[in-house]
Amino acid sequence: MLFTAPFIKLSLINFSLSLSLSHFLNTQEARQRGDSSSSSLIFKTSMAGTGIFTDILDGDVYKYYSDGEWKTSSSGKSVAIINPATRKTQYKVQACTQEEVNKVMEMAKSAQKSWAKTPLWKRAELLHKAAAILKDNKAPIAESLVKEIAKPAKDSVTEVVRSGDLISYCAEEGVRILGEGKFLLSDSFPGNERTKYCLTSKIPLGVVLAIPPFNYPVNLAVSKIAPALIAGNSLVLKPPTQGAVSCLHMVHCFHLAGFPKGLISCITGKGSEIGDFLTMHPAVNCISFTGGDTGISISKKAGMIPLQMELGGKDACIVLEDADLDLVASNIIKGGFSYSGQRCTAVKVVLVIKSVADELVEKVKAKVAKLTVGPPEENCDITAVVSESSANFIEGLVMDAKDKGATFCQEYKREGNLIWPLLLDNVRPDMRIAWEEPFGPVLPVLRINSVEEGINHCNASNFGLQGCVFTKDINKAILISDAMETGTVQINSAPARGPDHFPFQGLKDSGIGSQGVTNSINLMTKVKTTVINLPTPSYSMG
Ligand code: G3H
């Protein structure tokens, strides 16, 4: 069933969610086993907050995680998590206090000291264990993703599995890169004899504070947690409000894996009460943040610690005359509309050479018409955006474009937080949507006279996360890639962060530091050197 009326059946959706998700998972598992009858598996998959996750719930409020235990906040208060689709309270989490933050930091500092003395192979072993538990329990975690961020069920499952793989990859990579150091000899620098042997290794920073965003609360949490832990750091997680329950389930998988008490903590609450307190806490030695421009203010207040920040993008898709337009259209749909455009790496502006613009727009329009719109439980392509304020913001961009004369390829339609996919043609640079990040299923097309015009538009943006170029001429593609001021340029594909071990970084307001497994491990360590000074030069005669 696709969307037929304004969520009339919402009361049934919550009830049917676990069944449809279980059915989806069971069907997948049955297929993998070559079993055509999957019905026997239905109901075996537990729901969020049940089975092994019972401990994380206190009545109807999820607990926070501190000192290796699930706790109820002394505040006696909770924060409501609104289901984007139903716009009703779906979950509640603890509103932790500053005192509880202090306690968590104290534990994190002391647990890190022993963790740094834990052999690397043992750290890796625990991470592999956590990854396995996470993947084994993908159903209840995916269920909470569906309910608190309206991510389509199949994408929610993918997020959990991808996260397990990321943790394991990180454990393996950490064992390799942290198991090696450097050995330098002094006589390579002018004026020196071989009297100094320099040994370098990588050591942990201390306490890493991880703040993931709502759109990938599990995956972008583990992309911070796993590198921090393998490198010998302790980790304090502050989940986004929407996505907090999925994060708490994920943290429980680390708990069950047997990590030492206090090494990992997860503190929930209102940003207004504990946000600055956390990011400015003197115990924090590194902040890894993904989100919006809050990151800019965090970076101004954080002090002299390493920062890893990804703060969004306005990824441009430049289309040349010789591009394969069917390939471009498929990538615009995938890049612009998957998870309803709520990805930092979504295609957020199409810059197409005028001579092929009509044909491209027609192809994209035909594909937009096929997108399904409705509940995430039913795997619809387009689901409700995360909040009413987000939907209002998107609508503001659409209305501005309307007032200034953009061509609407579809009728603009919104019900609650659900916005139908919309392609806006003939967008001009004086329209807000040409520059601002809608984080919704609305995509502007600017018709350009030359490649230079496209590059200039891309480079005039405050953002510089990713971009893409479509052409059959690889030489031109390389030149354009070099000219685009973005952290990554994809040639003949939509922007994307993954595979998760690839470097991922933004220029300008899109962020600082580079992510990806190896870069994150390196960022969460510092170099330590020991120099052996010899009384007389010593040369190997070999
Ligand atoms: O939303 C920001 C994410 O880092 C994008 O990740 O390219 O895998 O969707 P993705």
Residues 286-333: pLDDT tens digits?
A: 999 999 999 999 999 999 999 999 999 999 999 999 999 999 999 999
Predicted TM-score (pTM) of this structure: 0.92
Residue 289 CB–ligand 1 contact under 6 Å:
no
Mutate to test the pocket of ligand 1, among 145, 345, 501, 502 (most ligand atoms within 8 A of CB): 345
- Residue with the two structure tokens 């499952």: 157
What is the crossing angle of helices 244-257 and 120-136, to 10°? 130
- Residues 368, 333 contacting (CB under 8 angstroms): yes
497 in ligand 1 pocket by Cβ < 6 Å? yes
Question: How far is the centre of ligand 1, averaged over its atoms, from the C-alpha of 497 (Å)?
Answer: 5
Rounded Cα gap, residues 519 and 524, in angstroms = 9
| Alpha carbon of 146 to ligand 1 centroid (Å) | 17
343 lines ligand 1 (CB under 6 A): yes
Does the beta carbon of 215 sit less than 6 angstroms from any atom of ligand 1?
yes
* Per-residue pLDDT reduced to its tens digit, 48-86: 999 999 999 999 999 999 999 999 999 999 999 999 999
* Nearest atom of ligand 1 to the alpha carbon of 495: 7
- pLDDT at position 1: 35
pLDDT in tens, 192-219: 999 999 999 999 999 999 999 999 999 9
From 148, 310, 377, 436, the catalytic residue? 310
Separation of CA 206 and ligand 1 centre (Å): 27
If you ran DSSP here, which 8-state letter would residue 273 be given?
A: I
| Distance from the alpha carbon of residue 500 to the mean position of ligand 1, in angstroms | 10
Non-local CB neighbours of 490 within 8 Å, separated by 6+ positions: 466, 467, 468, 469, 496
> Ligand 1 in contact with 499 (CB < 6 A)?
no
Question: Is residue 224 lining ligand 1, measured as CB closer than 6 Å?
Answer: no
- Tokens found for residue 392: 């209002």
What is the atom index within ligand 1 of the atom nearest the CA of 215?
A: 1
Band of pLDDT at residue 46, cut at 50, 70 and 90: low
Q: Where residue 541 falls among pLDDT bands split at 50, 70, 90?
A: confident
In 163-178, which positions are buried (b, 16+ CB within 10 angstroms) versus exposed (e)? bbbbbbbbbebbbebb
- The phi and psi torsions of 345 (rounded to 5 degrees) equal -95, 15
- Closest C-alpha to ligand 1, atom 6: 497
Q: Give the CATH fold of the 46-310 domain.
A: Aldehyde Dehydrogenase; Chain A, domain 1 (3.40.605)
- Adjacent-strand bridge partners of 442: 422
CA distance 529 to 183: 9
The residue whose C-alpha atom lies closest to atom 2 belonging to ligand 1 is: 344
Whether 339 lines ligand 1, by a CB cut-off of 6 Å, is no
Does 310 participate in catalysis according to the annotation? yes
Contact 215, 342 (CB under 8 A): yes
Q: Of all atoms in ligand 1, which is nearest to the CA of residue 338?
A: 9
Residue 346 Cα, ligand 1 centroid: separation in angstroms? 8
Pocket flag, ligand 1, residue 496 (CB < 6 Å): yes
- Is pLDDT of 28 > 60? no
Closest protein CA for atom 3 of ligand 1: 344
CB of 20 sitting under 6 A from ligand 1: no
CB of 216 closer than 6 angstroms to any ligand 1 atom? yes
Residue with tokens 């998107």: 394
If you measure from the C-alpha of residue 515 to the centroid of ligand 1, how many angstroms do you get, rounded to a whole number? 11
Q: pLDDT tens-digit profile of 326-385? A: 999 999 999 999 999 999 999 999 999 999 999 999 999 999 999 999 999 999 999 999
Ligand 1 lined by 494 (C-beta under 6 Å): no
**Amino acid in the structure at residue 400:** D
Sheet holding 234-237, edge to edge: 69-71, 64-66, 264-266, 234-237, 207-211, 286-290, 307-310, 511-512
pLDDT at position 16: 44
Q: How many whole angstroms from 315 Cα to the centroid of ligand 1?
A: 12
Q: How far apart are CA 204 and CA 229, in angstroms?
A: 9
List, in order, residues 6 or more apart from 366 with CB less than 8 Å away: 329
Domain boundaries, the chain: 46-310, 316-504
Q: Ligand 1: which of 288, 317, 343 to mutate, most ligand atoms within 8 Å of CB?
A: 343
CA of residue 325 to ligand 1 center, whole Å: 24
Mutation to probe ligand 1, out of 165, 216, 386, 505 (largest number of atoms < 8 A from CB): 216
pLDDT single digits (tens) 461-506:
999 999 999 999 999 999 999 999 999 999 999 999 999 999 999 9
pLDDT grade, residue 540 (50/70/90)?
A: confident
pLDDT per residue as tens digits for the range 98-128:
999 999 999 999 999 999 999 999 999 999 9
Query: What is the C-alpha separation between 316 and 319, in angstroms, rounded?
Result: 10
Mean pLDDT of 447-468: 98
DSSP characters for 342-360?
-STTSEEEEEEEHHHHHHH
Which CATH number applies to 316-504: 3.40.50.10310, 3.40.309.10, 1.10.287.130, 3.40.50.460? 3.40.309.10
pLDDT at position 21, please?
Answer: 52
Nearest atom in ligand 1 to 343's CA: 1
Give the number of the atom of ligand 1 that is nearest the alpha carbon of residue 515.
Answer: 4
- Structure confidence by residue, pLDDT tens digits, 324-342: 999 999 999 999 999 999 9
* pLDDT reported for residue 394: 98
Cα-to-centroid distance, 343 and ligand 1 (Å): 5
If one counts every other C-beta atom within 10 angstroms of the C-beta of residue 319, the result is 27
Task: For ligand 1, say whether the CB of 344 is within 6 Å of any of its atoms.
Answer: yes
C-alpha 402 – ligand 1 centre gap (Å): 29
CB 109 within 8 A of CB 283: yes
d(CA 222, CA 134) in angstroms, rounded, equals 11
